[in-house]
């Protein structure tokens, strides 16, 4: 992909946004893992823990990008990413099992291990959005890292205040997933020859994921309200 092309910069913007929209978990893990340390060590734990986590994430993403050349992996990755998009919209994650470290090294270990376990959604999403470009993967992470380290708390507050941001994020993930599915070798020729079906498929996938998220959140809100009234 040509670095001077509009396609490159749009793909980079897509990757950075995906990194940010999925960074909430990272911020929570970082904060919980370092909370028991003295203030002068917390910054070190955050910096070194995040550096280690990002290093592992780059390696994992490179591996996944290479694996996407295998038959049916685009389809499997796309379907998995649709589930991740839906989960982002409706799931309230419980991070109570993240233990705070009592030493700098323990906190760094916790951040790296927890991020590696939780980062599969980010890896798949970025691999799908990168179109096989390692430059895009690394550039996207380098741009996102400072924001994840220093701005995640602010981003979480923005998401909590403006809930529509999450739906935009879910739509971006669904769009990336749909493009991965249309990029599967078995289907790619058909979609390339039929722009109407290509864009129609993408629009339907994005609409279904957002609608499913809205409906599930509405149902959960009604159930929560009924539970409060019964008490």
Query: Is position 90 within any domain?
Result: yes
Q: Whole domain around residue 33: which residue ranges?
A: 6-230
| Residue 142, pLDDT above cutoff 60 | yes
Enumerate the H helices of 91-132 as residue ranges.
104-118, 120-129
Query: Is position 218 within any domain?
Result: yes
pLDDT of residue 92: 58
Query: Is position 70 within any domain?
Result: yes
pLDDT of residue 200: 96
**114 touches 95 (CB < 8 A):** no
Return the biggest CA–CA distance within the chain: 61
pLDDT more than 90, % of the chain: 15
For the chain, the average pLDDT equals 80
| Residue 141, pLDDT above cutoff 90 | no
Total domains in the chain come to: 1
Query: Is position 154 within any domain?
Result: yes
Secondary structure, 3-state, 21-75? HCCHHHHHHHHHHCCCCCHHHHHHHHHHHHHHHHHHHHHHHHHHHHHCCCCCHHH
| Residue 17, pLDDT above cutoff 60 | yes
Per the confidence metrics, is the pTM higher than 0.85? no
Query: Is position 128 within any domain?
Result: yes
Query: Is position 164 within any domain?
Result: yes
Cα 112 to chain centroid, rounded? 17
CA atoms within 13 A on the CB side of 199: 2
Query: Is position 1 within any domain?
Result: no
Of 4-18, 54-68, 81-95, 141-155, the poorest mean pLDDT is in: 141-155
Query: Is position 159 within any domain?
Result: yes
| Residue 53, pLDDT above cutoff 60 | yes
């Amino acid at each position: 992909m040509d670095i001077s092309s509009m396609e490159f910069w749009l793909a980079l913007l897509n990757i950075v946004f995906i990194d940010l929209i999925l960074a909430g978990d990272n911020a929570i893990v970082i904060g919980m893992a370092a909370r028991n340390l003295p203030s002068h060590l917390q910054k070190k734990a955050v910096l070194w823990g995040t550096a280690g986590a990002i290093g592992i994430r780059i390696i994992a993403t490179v591996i996944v990008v290479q694996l996407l050349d295998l038959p049916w992996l685009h389809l499997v990755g796309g379907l998995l990413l649709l589930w991740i998009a839906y989960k982002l919209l409706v799931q309230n994650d419980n991070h109570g099992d993240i233990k705070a470290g009592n030493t700098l090294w323990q906190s760094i270990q916790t951040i790296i291990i927890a991020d590696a376990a939780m980062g599969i959604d980010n890896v798949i999403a970025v691999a799908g959005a990168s179109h096989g470009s390692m430059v895009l993967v690394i550039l996207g992470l380098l741009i996102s890292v400072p924001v994840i380290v220093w701005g995640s708390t602010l981003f979480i507050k923005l998401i909590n205040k403006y809930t529509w941001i999450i739906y935009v994020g879910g739509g971006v993930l669904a769009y990336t997933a749909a493009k991965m599915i249309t990029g599967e070798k078995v289907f790619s020729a058909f979609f390339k020859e039929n722009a109407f079906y290509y864009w129609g498929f993408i629009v339907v996938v994005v609409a279904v994921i957002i609608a499913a998220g809205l409906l599930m959140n509405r149902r959960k809100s009604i159930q929560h309200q009924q539970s409060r009234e019964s008490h």
